[in-house]
Chain A
Amino acid sequence: MQADSPAKGEHGAAPVTDPGATADTFPKLLIHNARTRADRPAIRHKDLGIWRTWTWAEIFENVREFSVGLETLGLARGDKLAVIGSNRPRLYWAMCAAQGLGAVPVPIYADAVAEEMAYVLEHAEVTVAVVEDQEQVDKILSISGRLTGLTFIVYDETRGLRDYDHARLKSIDGVQERGRDTLARDAAAASRWDASVAAGKGGDLAVILYTSGTTGRSKGVMLSYDNVIISARNGNLFDRLDADEEIIAYLPLAWVGDHIFSYAQSYVAGFCVNCPEAPETVAEDRREIGTTYAFAPPRIYENLLTLTMVRMEDAGAVKRRMFHFFINHARKWGEKILNKEPVPLWARLVYRLGDILVYGPLKNRFGLTRIRVGYTAGEAIGPEIFRFYRALGINLKQLYGQTEASVYITAQPDGEIYADTVGKPNIGVDVKIDDTGEVLFKSPGVFAGYYKDPEKTAEAKTPDGWVRTGDAGFFDPKTGHLKIIDRAKDVGKLNDGTLFAPKYIENKLKFYPNIREAVAFGDHCDCVTVMLNIDLAAVGSWAERNTVAYGSYQELAGHPLVYDMIAKHVIEVNRSLAEERVMAGAQIRRFLILHKELDADDGELTRTQKVRRSFIAERYEPLVRALYDDSTQADIATEVTFEDGRKGVIAATVTIRDVVPAPVAPVLGKAA
């Protein structure tokens, strides 16, 4: 990779003649790192309250033992190995161990119910499943009747599994021990493994990632080593990431983002990945580590901000005033300082003081004190939220990517940050917009195809190598950045012909901390209506301050005062829509607040927390109907799935409110 050489100078950790740059598979990169960075930390895991660190040399040993152990269980080249669980060192090792044998890891969303898991395990013809704990073992055992190809389940956490039938069940410890024994006993085993690694090529299939899919069955995206490694290398180059970065791995293993950031980029750059103790402790763990490179969907940043604001409302008067004063100052000047624009001296001095009193402690709380690059992706982020973090001096940027692209399509370069764009094409990526407004790209990361689905592959990939993203967007003439409006197939029209982009409206609503989720309807209808979910933390705190009594989420959601408050937000959204010529006709006329939170377990959200609009329209059909007749109330009974898989029914009467649309402003010449 000659492309590596420029622009690396100032960090200098990766020399220009880095032989690692020629390593074209993960096991080769591991061997390279174990040789050149033997004593540097490669991965950490907080266990029993203590951070434990493994160096590159140590993980090499672990992966090799694991790999040879898996070989004794019969795992062979081309076999599929499922990886199910949270972000733990040994699950990452499982991926590399499989790849060492030429087998293909298939990470699966750990919170998927058994039924969803069965589909992927069956479709991918998985022969060995490496899982975190008893919970996952139970899930697989419950569907094992259908999984004829599955030979072994290998688990990390032994608790609760002692009394299980161990004919097909192995612990990772046990497998590694088999590997260690084999390596000690048989001198040829190590060289056989080396040969197996050497036989791997960049063009080989590296991983199959099943997309969570807003519609229908998930598809298995096949990525080659070249796809993943070249993309990761370009990503590192784009943000000048080197071996000194610290990141925290907490997003699902099955998500392409985690695969690139916590696995590929770490192996390529040699930086350290930190595995949190538990999903609930991520914020605390992040604070202890002080990550330098972070990646999160907007939701995470939203939650952090909502929590901060809620806490500040409860703080003493002095603290609160100090907070608001400096935050306002930061909103005005912070971003300019971050972008290195000219700023008056007094503003700099006040900002410096604010850094000591407010911004610093806040960033410390967020665990973002040492952050160099932070990305948000997956969904649009609220401009207010985005600017808040940037005002604090956190270099938060936007990125647009897809599993089919090995993440990177566009990203914002440092210093060119806008709240409403997703940036410029990444290194090595070409982007074009077709006549229908759909975004297409071509890059080294373009996926090999959907596993066992040539039809779908042909739909997504044009014969000349472009990939359809399914997103509608355009290049902003002012900045040259790409802007995404919505999923191309979701963009519809009202009966009067007005353009209806549901996500655009939903996002505007969701930018209010009180609104957690929004679903807009309007395609082939006379007007736009929305279903809303309130945010329990934000509205709950508001209720406490305004002495609104409530016993449950349902009661709070239906409270007239809550409706009044939400109605104000809807009116503000209408006002902002009215300012945009294209969108002015698509203002919200009626809304309702849903009695329950939309949930992935009920199929209402995808596992990556995106709303499944058509499913919701079907499920809440009586409510949708009521939104479009004149009724002010509607009854609804829905089946819900509890966390343990049992089902129950929630019945409720939901109120519907009318909203007066804002007057459409005369043409201001403002682009949408």
Chain B
Amino acid sequence: MRAPAAGDQAAREILLSMENVSLSFGGVNAISDVSFDIRKGEICAIIGPNGAGKTSMLNVINGFYTPRQGRITFKGVARAKMRPYEAAERGIARTFQNVALFRGMSALDNIMAGRTLKMKRGLLWQMLRYGPAMAEEVEHRRVAEEIIDFLHIKDIRKVQVGRLPYGLQKRVELGRALAMEPELLLLDEPMAGMNLEEKEDMSRFVLDVNQHFGTTIALIEHDMGVVMDLSDRVVVLDHGVKIADGTPDEVKSDRNVIDAYLGVAH
């Protein structure tokens, strides 16, 4: 199903590298000493049982949490601390486990909101909607429309997202993230709460995003079927510790992973 690039995995350039990252809330260690790389152009899944620290990991990557220790290198630049908007500016976009859209706005406006960082003219220019600001808006609208076309949501372009069913809201959210033209796209349970057909649609879109735009994707997902089909590589966390990292096949047969999921007789 995937592009035939799987063979040259190791040769691919590293986009994001996590080295010995630890995160704690008070006395609780959410993530302890985890290291892994995300390579350019791959789909990397982060899986693990409940409370394994998956969402925390995404939050660390996009700067929402600052790790207690460890080094994060994105596009060759190491950083100690980064705010979410800085992460966004540098090309990291995300969607949320619970849809976080502007509910009162249309699908189109939500996606246009994803273009905010790309807008060069200031607020005043944009309010005037004249001359160069207008030209810029037209260009952004074109990008937004391409995304709408890509995600097959033409019929809900002007519908308030609050009125849309959940599966479509998730799609609009993906659209907003895509509007940032990110290099790294973080998807937090993109298929949670969806029925089979919606899951298949979403899987298709994730693969298409990866192939069509060449976007690197890191996703958290509980549906193992989806994870094994979609991802080039799987990182498994359990209680904040990395217990496996490899291709879906490797991970599937890993003793530690099986124990973590099925439990161990003590």
Contact = CB atoms under 8 A, between A and B. Distances in A.
A463 interface: no
Contacts of A644: 197, 200
B208 A278 contact: no
A284 interface: yes
Contacts of B148: 48-49
Nearest to B141: A49
Interface string B205-249: 000100110000000000000000000000000000000000000
Interface string A48-80: 111000000000000000000000000000000
Report, as a range, how many residues of chain B touch the other chain: 10 to 19
A160 interface: yes
Q: Which of B142, B148, B152, B155 has the most CB of A within 10 A?
A: B155
Interface in B126-165: 141-142, 145-146, 148-150, 152, 154-155, 157
Interface of A, secondary structure class, is loop
Contact of B145 (A49, A162, A643): A49
Contacts of A50: 145
Contacts of A160: 208, 211-212
Nearest to B200: A644
A98 B111 CA distance: 41
B100 interface: no
B2 to A, nearest CB: 10
A163 B212 contact: no
A464 interface: no
Given A278-B152, A278-B154, A284-B155, A48 B212 contact: no
Contacts, number: 34
Interface in B160-219: 197, 200, 208, 211-212
B261 to A, nearest CB: 27
A277 B148 CA distance: 11
Given A48-B142, A280-B154, A163 B3 contact: yes
Nearest to B152: A278
Contacts of A631: none
Contact of B155 (A48, A159, A278, A643): A278
B73 to A, nearest CB: 31
Given A159-B150, A277-B154, A48 B145 contact: yes
A202 to B, nearest CB: 40
Contacts of B212: 159-160
A638 interface: no
A642 interface: yes
Contacts of A280: 154-155
A50 B212 CA distance: 23
A642 B154 contact: no
A662 to B, nearest CB: 43
Nearest to A159: B212
Nearest to A134: B208
Contacts of B211: 160, 162-163
B157 A49 contact: yes
A49 B155 CA distance: 10
Nearest to B149: A48
A281 interface: yes
B70 to A, nearest CB: 37
Contact of A643 (B150, B157, B197): B197
Interface in B1-39: 3
Contacts of B145: 48-50
B197 A642 contact: yes
Contact of B208 (A48, A159, A642): A159
A486 B257 CA distance: 65
Contacts of B152: 278
Q: Which of A48, A160, A277 has the most CB of B within 10 A?
A: A48
Contacts of A47: 149
Q: Which of B149, B154, B211 has the most CB of A within 10 A?
A: B154
A484 to B, nearest CB: 35
Nearest to B143: A48
A49 B107 CA distance: 13
B1 to A, nearest CB: 12
Nearest to A50: B145
A49 B158 CA distance: 11
A48 B208 CA distance: 18
A159 B211 CA distance: 10
Contacts of A642: 197
Contacts of B157: 49
A644 B155 CA distance: 21
B235 to A, nearest CB: 26
Contacts of A284: 155
Contacts of B208: 159-160
Interface in A21-61: 47-50
A278 B149 CA distance: 9
A643 B198 CA distance: 12
B3 A48 contact: no
A388 B163 CA distance: 30
Interface string A99-118: 00000000000000000000
B169 to A, nearest CB: 17
A284 B157 CA distance: 11
Interface string A621-636: 0000000000000000
A160 B149 CA distance: 13
Nearest to A283: B155
Interface in B47-83: none
A365 to B, nearest CB: 14
Interface in A479-498: none
A427 to B, nearest CB: 39
A644 B198 CA distance: 12
B135 to A, nearest CB: 15
B121 to A, nearest CB: 22
A218 B155 CA distance: 33
A161 B150 CA distance: 14
A278 B151 CA distance: 12
Given A160-B211, A278-B154, A644-B197, 18 more contacts: A47-B149, A48-B146, A48-B148, A49-B141, A49-B154, A49-B157, A50-B145, A159-B150, A159-B208, A160-B208, A160-B212, A162-B211, A163-B3, A280-B155, A281-B154, A284-B155, A642-B197, A644-B200
Interface of A: 47-50, 159-160, 162-163, 277-278, 280-281, 284, 642-644
Q: Would you list the 10 A-B pairs with minimal beta carbon distance, nearest first?
A: A280-B155, A48-B145, A49-B145, A281-B155, A278-B154, A277-B154, A281-B154, A48-B149, A278-B155, A48-B146
28 contacts: A47-B149, A48-B142, A48-B145, A48-B146, A48-B148, A48-B149, A49-B145, A49-B148, A49-B157, A50-B145, A159-B208, A159-B212, A160-B211, A160-B212, A162-B211, A163-B3, A163-B211, A277-B154, A278-B152, A278-B154, A280-B154, A280-B155, A281-B154, A281-B155, A284-B155, A642-B197, A643-B197, A644-B200
